[in-house]
Amino acid sequence: MGKSRNFFHLHLVSDSTGETLMTVARAATAQYEDVEAIEHVYPLVRSARQLEQVISEIEASPGIVLYTLVDTELAERLEQAGRRSASPCVNILSPVFSVFQSYLNVQLTGRVGGQHALDADYFHRIDALNFTMLHDDGQIPGNLDEADVVLLGISRTSKTPTCIYLANRGLKAANIPIVPDIPLPPQLFSVRRAMVVAVIASVERIQQVRQNRILSLNAGSFANDTYLDRRQIAREIATTRKLCAERGWPVIDVTRRSIEETAAEIMSLYRAHKSALVDQLTS
């Protein structure tokens, strides 16, 4: 019999998108077994009127309050409301700002949503995302070497979401499926600038994901197809490993990895790849 879960209200108040808060809150919550947060997310809170609505919801459902509010008056008003409702309030960026200010000896500018500015980095990420979407699932292989990363993998190894995540980090990522009896595009074997990496998973994991995919599509006619056959899946994985061994391409097993963890490993490999390219050009 499974343990009962304990629920608590978690209020996330931000004058920007709230992404930072959600990342921190979920990382913290994940460290506590049998505890689950009921999240209340309030993005773009920038006026006293907006804050009053937030406070009314906190008072109706007291819990932990995490916030990122640059406006000190709004922050103080939220802190007061938290004390009244016995809801601890934490400005998660405050200790970070203190360290920066002490070390750099500069004043905080108090710029709301500064990390989301429409600067060169922003447009670089948009360009990477456009490239990635155009090169999903083996499309437009003619300019593969314009990619930063070329991701290979058999069906249901999370190639597309991983590439989209990489694009949001500014990397142009193309993905190419490895399909039995279908040759890979010849352009793949002539790339010089792009880093080629493959993803695999266990036979059990791939079979499970493929089965769920078929069920979601109501594609019952494929139930006995080789697509779900364990021996066929094992052959596909072996083919991937053999190809990468011959070419010297790295392989990442994503069986127990989240997309974020897979992307982090790819970005680490790409930094080493990029450094090696620079060394070649300068030597």
256 annotated ligand binder? no
154 annotated ligand binder? yes
Residue 177's contacts (CB-CB under 8 Å, 6 or more residues apart) are 137, 138, 152, 153, 154, 155, 159
Give the burial string for 124-159 (b: 16+ CB within 10 Å, else e).
Answer: eeeebbebbeebbebeeeeebeebbbbbbbbbbbbb
Residue with tokens 């500018």: 109
Sheet holding 251-253, edge to edge: 173-177, 149-153, 195-200, 251-253
162 annotated ligand binder? no
> In this structure, are residues 266 and 251 in contact, taking their beta carbons and an 8 Å threshold?
no
> In this structure, are residues 82 and 64 in contact, taking their beta carbons and an 8 Å threshold?
no
**In the beta sheet, which residues pair with residue 251?**
198
Helix (H) or strand (E) holding 13: strand 6-14
> In this structure, are residues 157 and 206 in contact, taking their beta carbons and an 8 Å threshold?
yes
172 annotated ligand binder? no
The three-state DSSP-derived secondary structure of 227-265 is HHCHHHHHHHHHHHHHHHHHHCCCEEECCCCCHHHHHHH
DSSP 150: E
Binding-site residue ranges for ADP: 153-160
Residues annotated in the binding site, as ranges?
A: 153-160
